[in-house]
Amino acid sequence: MTPDRSPIIGLSGGIGSGKSTVAKILAELGAKIIDADRVVREVQAPGSEGLKGLVETFGQKILLEDGNLDRKALGDIVFRDPEALDRLNQIIHPKVSAEMARRLMLALESKPALVVLDIPLLFEGQKSGTGTASVIPFDATVLVWVPAPLQVERQISRDACDEAEAQRRIAAQMPIDEKRELADFIIDNSKSVSDTRKQVEGLFPNLCNLRPGQK
């Protein structure tokens, strides 16, 4: 990757933080978004090696009748068992990392103003030295932040789960305030969408003007 390439930004958040909203605004402003969640879904699609590995590890109970992955069933397993979550990551992360890196190279060829890698576990990956976040040369990281109680409230509303389940899922990730200490830039998404948009629009030129490779 050459010094005159587009800046590469890592975007992350916590469960219920509204990271997808920020990614959408960045895309509207001209950023090229590479969505790790979308890649994960593709490497877990019917017929994929990823799904085959998951079934071999967790059994047929994680499949829907049509052969697709039952994400709720898998989530019920891994969010209750750290060892199961580790096994899931060992199966899926290498495949996701390889595909994310491939898409990054393709995105850079088109020279967009900004390339944003939307990675839910970005800071976890950097800390552990595993996954996509450990191998991509980010020029800066952006965290979409909300207070932890609001994470719980939004997850209950979005996923129709109870508070205990919401707390379990949040506990499976690095605390959002710890992520805040690691991020280069913060978007506070605890207020209105218009307030969030104003923050993103104000930050966008600064991100586009970053000098690649200087971090």
| Tens digits of residue pLDDT in 61-86 | 999 999 999 999 998 999 889 899 88
Work out the average pLDDT over 9-24.
Answer: 95
| Tens digits of residue pLDDT in 191-208 | 999 999 999 999 999 999
Residue 57 located in a structural domain: no
Q: Is it the case that residue 56 has pLDDT exceeding 60? A: yes
Rg of the chain over CA atoms, in angstroms?
17
pLDDT confidence of residue 209? 95
Residue 59 located in a structural domain: no
pLDDT confidence of residue 11? 98
pLDDT confidence of residue 79? 85
Structure tokens at 133: 């976040």
What's the pLDDT band for 130 if we cut at 50, 70, 90?
A: confident
| Tens digits of residue pLDDT in 131-162 | 777 778 899 999 999 999 999 999 898 888 88
| Tens digits of residue pLDDT in 94-126 | 899 899 999 999 999 999 999 999 999 899 888
pLDDT confidence of residue 172? 85
pLDDT confidence of residue 214? 64
pLDDT confidence of residue 165? 87
- Give the domain CATH number at 135: 3.40.50.300
Residue 215 located in a structural domain: no
Please tell me the least confidently modeled range out of 2-6, 40-44, 110-114.
2-6
Residue 121 located in a structural domain: yes
What is the distance between the alpha carbons of residues 120 and 102, in angstroms, rounded to a whole number?
Answer: 19
Residue 182 located in a structural domain: yes
Q: Number of structural domains, the chain?
A: 1
Phi, psi angle pair for 37, to nearest 5°:
-60, -40
Q: Is it the case that residue 1 has pLDDT exceeding 70? A: no
**Segments forming the whole domain that contains residue 24:** 8-37+98-208
Residue 148 located in a structural domain: yes
Q: Is it the case that residue 183 has pLDDT exceeding 90? A: yes
Q: Is it the case that residue 215 has pLDDT exceeding 60? A: no
What is the distance between the alpha carbons of residues 38 and 163, in angstroms, rounded to a whole number?
Answer: 27
What is the distance between the alpha carbons of residues 163 and 181, in angstroms, rounded to a whole number?
Answer: 26
CA distances in angstroms from 209 to 3, 142, 156, 185, 213, listed in the order given? 13, 15, 38, 14, 12
Please tell me the least confidently modeled range out of 13-17, 51-55, 179-183, 211-215.
211-215
Amino acid at 111: K
Residue 158 located in a structural domain: yes
Residue 42 located in a structural domain: no
pLDDT confidence of residue 186? 98
Computed over every residue of the chain, the mean pLDDT equals 92
